[in-house]
Structure 1
Amino acid sequence: MTSTFGLPFMRLTDALMFLFLPVLFIVIGLGRTVRDGLLYFVLLCVIVAASLLGKTGVQQGDIYMTLIFFLTSVFAFFLVEAAQDERVLTWLAGGILLGLIPSVGVLFLQAGGAAGLAGIGLGVPIDESTSPMAAAFAKTKFGGMWIHGNEAGHVYAVATASALYLAFRFRQPMIYIGYYALLVATFAVTLNRSGLIAPTIALIYLYARQGNLSLYVGSAALAVIGLVVLSSLPNAPGLDTLFDSVQTRFVEDSHTDQNIFERVMSNIQGFQVALENPLGIGYNDRIAAMGEKTTTGIVSVHNGYLSLSYQSGLAVSVLYVIACIYLFINRQTVPIFYLATSAFTATSMCFEELSINQFFIFSVALTTAAAWLHYAKSAQRKSAKQSKFALRPFAPRKLPQ
C-alpha cells in the first residue's frame, strides 16, 4: 500500500513504527529509558553504524533494511518496556492474530484467481526487478501479501506463537488449536513444510500439558467444521488441494535428499561469506560471492541467521542467538509470549532467508529487547537486594557510663 501511494516506506507497518515511536517514548519516560536502555542503545548504535559504514557493496535496499532493523530494535525496546503490564502483552498478541486472519484471506483470494490484489498493495508485484527464482516460486507457491509461500508460510507460523501465549494466558487451548488448523489450511497453497515444524511441536506440547476429554472433543469438532468449510469454499483451495499438497510435499517428494544436501552445502559456503564480511555485505555482492564459492549452483543460503549477518553485521546474529539462549535458560521467569515467539522464529530462520521480512526483523528485535530488559531488571533487583543486606561499617559500641 505504501508503494501504491508513493510513501518512502516498503511496508505500512514501517511507517506506523516511525509515527508511534514518540508516543511510546512519552509513555515510558526518560528516566526508565536511561536506566534500563542506555547501554542497549549505545551498543545498537555502534553495531548499526559499523554495518552502514563498513558493509561491502552497499546499495539502496541494503541501507533501507539495516535502518529498518535499527528502527524496529528501538521500537521493540519501548514496546517490551511497556509490556511489563501484561495487559499490553495480551493486546499485542491479540493484534498479531487479528492481522493474521485478513492476510490469510488475501492468500486464499490470490490462490482463487482474484486479480488486481498487488495493484492495491495486497501482494508483491512481479516485475523486471524480481529474480527469476522468486517469480517462479510465486506461480507455484502462493504468498498472499508476501512474494511466495516459502516466506508467507513462516510468517503465519510465527504469528501462531501469539495464539500459544493466549491459550496459556486464558487457559483455553482451543485458541491455539484453532489457529493451528488455519495454518494447516494455508499449507494447501503455500506448500511450505518447514513452517509447520515449530507449531506442530507446540501442539504436541499443548496436548501433553493440557490434554483432557473436553480438549479432544473440541479438537474433533473443529476438525469437522474445518473440513466442511474447505470442501464448500468456491474458487478456493479445498480438501483435494490440501490432500494433494500433503501427498506431494511429504510422501512423493523425491527431491528431499538432494534438497537437504544442497542446503547444507549452501549454509557452509554462506557461513564463509559471513566470516569474510563481518560488517555485512550487499545483496548483489553476496549473490556473486556465493556464485564463486558454491559447488551446487545454489546461491541462496536458505538461512535467516546468515542473511541477517549480511544485512546488519555478524554481531547482530550472534546477539540474537545469545538472546534466544538466555530466554530459554530463564524460561521460568520470562513470559511465554517471548519464549514462543523466539522459538518459532529461531526455527523458521534455520530454513529460509527471512531477515528481509519485516515481521521477522520485528521478532528478532523483540526477542533481543526482551532478553536485554530481563537481564537489566534482574541485575537491578540483585543490586538492590545486596545493598539492602550489605554489612554496615564497623562502629565501636559505647561503654556504659
Structure 2
Amino acid sequence: MTNNANTMASQGSSLPGFVAAMPFYPSKTVNIPPLLLAIFVFFIGFFIQCNIVTSNVGLRFLNITDMLVLMTIPVLTVLYVRCLTSCIIAIYLAPLTFFFALSTLFADGRGDGEFYTTAMTYFYMIYFLFFTYVLFKENLLEMFCWGTFAGFLAVTTLLFLDTIIHDQLAPLGLSFMFDETAVLEAAANGEMSAMLLRIEKAGGIWSAGNMAGPAFALAGAAAAFLAETRRRPALFALFLLIYLASFTLTLNRSGVFAVLAIGLYFYVRNFSVRMLLSTYLGFVLSALVIAAILPLGAFDFVEQAFSKRFLDDSNTSNNLQERWSTISSGFQVMFEHPFGVGYSLRSQELAKMTKVGTPHNGFLATAYTSGIGFCLISAFALFYTIFRKRKISFFAYSALGVVIGYQFEELNFNPVFMAHIGLAAGYTFIDLDFRAFLKNTVMKTGILNKFP
C-alpha cells in the first residue's frame, strides 16, 4: 500500500486532483482497524471475479457479490456518509434514484423476476460510489487489485476443474448449475435451449463462455495496474497467458479483444526501451518453447480453438451484418420504451424487425433493464474515465474492457460488469465533484497547484 502511494505521488500532475486532496476529505465516522478494511477490500475484489453462484446453495441471491452489496451497503454508507457533498448528490445520487423510480414504475412488460436486475443495477451503482471513496481515502486500490487478480486465478482454475468434476462443484456454487445430458437429449428431440451454447463454450461459474470470457477479461484491468505500479510487466504477461489458456474452453472472442485492448493501452502508457527489450526477449523465449514442444502435439488443442474462432468461422461477415441490424433496431425499441422493457416483449419486437431477439449490446440492454437514464449515466462514466486526460490507469483499463465487452454481448446483468460500471461511475462523479466545487477550496492550501 505504501508503494502504491509513493508511485501515485511520483506521477504528480498526471493524476486527478481529488487523489491528492483525499486527506482533506472527511474521515470515516467509526474508527475501523486498517487491517480489517484491507481484508474487506481484498475479498470484495476476489469475489467480484470469483463470483460464487449463491443461488445454487439455496440463497435468494444469484451471486455472492449481490449478497455482499446488499448486506454491506448500510455499513459503507454510515462509515463514509460525511464524504458526500451536495454536488455529488445533485449530479449523481438524485438523478440515479429518479431514473430508478421511473423504471420501477413505468417499465413496459417486465416479467416475473426481471426487476431483480433493475434493482441490483441501482444498488451496485450506489454501493461502488462509497467503495471508491474507501479505495482512495484508505489507499486500498492496490489491495483491491490484488484481490481481483487472486479471484481471477481462482475462477479460471474452477473453469478447468468444471470440465472434470462439474457435479461436485455445482452444489457448492463453484459452477453454474447445468445438466449436459438433459440439454443434449432435449436438442435431440428438437427442443432448443439457451444452455445448448455451454456445450460448445464452457463457462465455469458463468452460464457459458460468452459470459465467462468478458468477465475474466476485466481482471486484466487489475493485472495491468499492478504491473504498472510495481513496474513488473511480467504480471500482465502472466495474466495474458492464463487468459489465453481459458480461451481454449470459453471460445469467446470479445474477451480476447478486450484483453488485447487493455494490453495495448498498458504498453503505450508504459512504453520504454526496457519494456521493448523485455517484449522482444519474451517473444523469442516463447517461440523457442513452442518450437520445442510443438512436435509433441501439446498445442494441437490450442491451435484448434483459435482456428475455430478466428480463422475458420465462415459466418463472420454475416455476423457483422446481423449485429449492425440488431443494434439499429435495438435503438428503435429503446426509444419506444424509454423507462425499460421486459425481456419477452423486447425480444418479440426485435425478432419482428431483425429475426434476432437480442441486440448483442450491453448499453442497449442496460436501457431495456433500467431505462435510458441509466444507460446514459453508464455510458458517460465509461467514456469520461477513458478520455479524461488525468487519470488513475486502473479505471481507464476497466472502462475500456467494459466498453469493448458491451459491443458484443448483453453483459449488463453480469455482476462483474455491474461492479466495474459502478466503479467507473463512482470515480467519475467524485472527480467531477472535486473539479466543479472542491478544487478552489483545496487549492487555497497551496498543495494542489499541480493537480488540475
Tell me the TM-score normalized by structure 2: 0.77
Structure 2 SS opposite 1:45: helix
User: What is the aligned length?
Assistant: 381
Q: Assess, with a 3 A threshold, how the Cα gap between structure 1 residues 238 and 376 changes in structure 2: closer, same or farther.
A: farther
Which of residues 242, 245, 253 in structure 2 aligns to 1:193?
A: 253
Q: C-alpha offsets along residues 33-61 of structure 1, whole Å, 9 cap, x if unaligned?
A: 24563222211110111101111112232
Tell me which amino acid in the other structure corresponds to 1:77: L
Q: Assess, with a 3 A threshold, how the Cα gap between structure 1 residues 157 and 386 changes in structure 2: closer, same or farther.
A: closer
Deviation at residue 97 of structure 1 after TM alignment: 1.2
1:217 corresponds to 2:275: no
Deviation at residue 148 of structure 1 after TM alignment: 0.6
**Counterpart for residue 130 of structure 2:** 78
Segment drifting more, 14-23 vs 358-367: 14-23
Deviation at residue 25 of structure 1 after TM alignment: 2.4
Structure 1 SS opposite 2:84: helix
Deviation at residue 207 of structure 1 after TM alignment: 4.1
Equivalent residues of 2:255, 2:405 under 8 A apart: yes
Equivalents in 1 of 2:76, 2:173: separation in Å? Answer: 28
Tell me which amino acid in the other structure corresponds to 2:371: G
**Counterpart for residue 359 of structure 2:** 301
Equivalent residues of 1:77, 1:366 under 8 A apart: yes
Equivalent residues of 2:334, 2:372 under 8 A apart: yes
Matches within 5 A, 1:98-113: 98-112=150-164
> For the aligned residues, what is the CA RMSD?
2.9
Equivalents in 1 of 2:66, 2:294: separation in Å? Answer: 34
Which of residues 172, 176, 180 in structure 1 aligns to 2:236?
A: 176
Q: C-alpha offsets along residues 153-208 of structure 1, whole Å, 9 cap, x if unaligned?
A: 00011111111111111111111111011111111011111211132133334445
Structure 1 SS opposite 2:56: coil
Equivalent residues of 2:166, 2:175 under 8 A apart: no
Deviation at residue 215 of structure 1 after TM alignment: 4.7
Structure 1 SS opposite 2:175: coil
Which of residues 180, 196, 201 in structure 2 aligns to 1:141?
A: 201
**Counterpart for residue 2 of structure 1:** 54
Deviation at residue 379 of structure 1 after TM alignment: 1.5
Deviation at residue 126 of structure 1 after TM alignment: 3.6
Tell me which amino acid in the other structure corresponds to 2:359: V
**Counterpart for residue 398 of structure 1:** none
Equivalent residues of 2:367, 2:375 under 8 A apart: yes
Q: Assess, with a 3 A threshold, how the Cα gap between structure 1 residues 360 and 226 changes in structure 2: closer, same or farther.
A: farther
**Counterpart for residue 397 of structure 1:** none
Q: C-alpha offsets along residues 81-135 of structure 1, whole Å, 9 cap, x if unaligned?
A: 1222473111111111111111111111223464343232222224799994521
Segment drifting more, 108-117 vs 172-181: 108-117
Matches within 5 A, 1:246-265: 246-265=306-325
Q: Which runs of 5+ in 1 are unaligned?
A: 390-401
Q: Assess, with a 3 A threshold, how the Cα gap between structure 1 residues 45 and 223 changes in structure 2: closer, same or farther.
A: farther
Tell me which amino acid in the other structure corresponds to 2:100: V
Equivalents in 2 of 1:301, 1:41: separation in Å? Answer: 29
Which of residues 398, 403, 408 in structure 2 aligns to 1:351?
A: 408
**Counterpart for residue 24 of structure 2:** none
1:267 corresponds to 2:327: yes
Equivalents in 1 of 2:229, 2:219: separation in Å? Answer: 16
Equivalent residues of 1:134, 1:148 under 8 A apart: no
Equivalents in 1 of 2:130, 2:292: separation in Å? Answer: 44
Equivalents in 1 of 2:210, 2:56: separation in Å? Answer: 24
Deviation at residue 388 of structure 1 after TM alignment: 9.4
Structure 2 SS opposite 1:41: helix
1:97 corresponds to 2:144: no
Which of residues 71, 89, 93 in structure 2 aligns to 1:19?
A: 71
Structure 1 SS opposite 2:57: coil
Equivalents in 2 of 1:328, 1:181: separation in Å? Answer: 25
1:327 corresponds to 2:327: no
Equivalent residues of 2:386, 2:399 under 8 A apart: no
Equivalents in 1 of 2:224, 2:242: separation in Å? Answer: 14
Structure with bigger RCO (C-alpha 8 Å, 6+ apart) = 2
In the TM superposition, structure 1's runs of 4+ consecutive aligned residues that sit over 6 Å from their partners are 127-131, 222-232, 385-389
Equivalent residues of 1:177, 1:219 under 8 A apart: no
**Counterpart for residue 51 of structure 1:** 103
Q: Assess, with a 3 A threshold, how the Cα gap between structure 1 residues 219 and 92 changes in structure 2: closer, same or farther.
A: farther
Q: Percent identity?
A: 28
**Counterpart for residue 399 of structure 1:** none
Equivalents in 1 of 2:294, 2:437: separation in Å? Answer: 53
Which of residues 195, 205, 219 in structure 2 aligns to 1:159?
A: 219
Equivalent residues of 2:56, 2:177 under 8 A apart: no
Equivalents in 1 of 2:289, 2:72: separation in Å? Answer: 40
Equivalent residues of 1:3, 1:121 under 8 A apart: yes
In terms of Rg, which structure is larger?
Answer: 1
Deviation at residue 327 of structure 1 after TM alignment: 2.1
Tell me which amino acid in the other structure corresponds to 1:37: I
Which of residues 207, 210, 215 in structure 2 aligns to 1:150?
A: 210
**Counterpart for residue 25 of structure 2:** none
1:364 corresponds to 2:428: no
Equivalent residues of 1:174, 1:219 under 8 A apart: no
**Counterpart for residue 371 of structure 2:** 313
Structure 1 SS opposite 2:239: helix
Q: Assess, with a 3 A threshold, how the Cα gap between structure 1 residues 118 and 182 changes in structure 2: closer, same or farther.
A: same
Equivalents in 2 of 1:291, 1:279: separation in Å? Answer: 20
Equivalent residues of 1:304, 1:349 under 8 A apart: yes
Deviation at residue 370 of structure 1 after TM alignment: 1.1
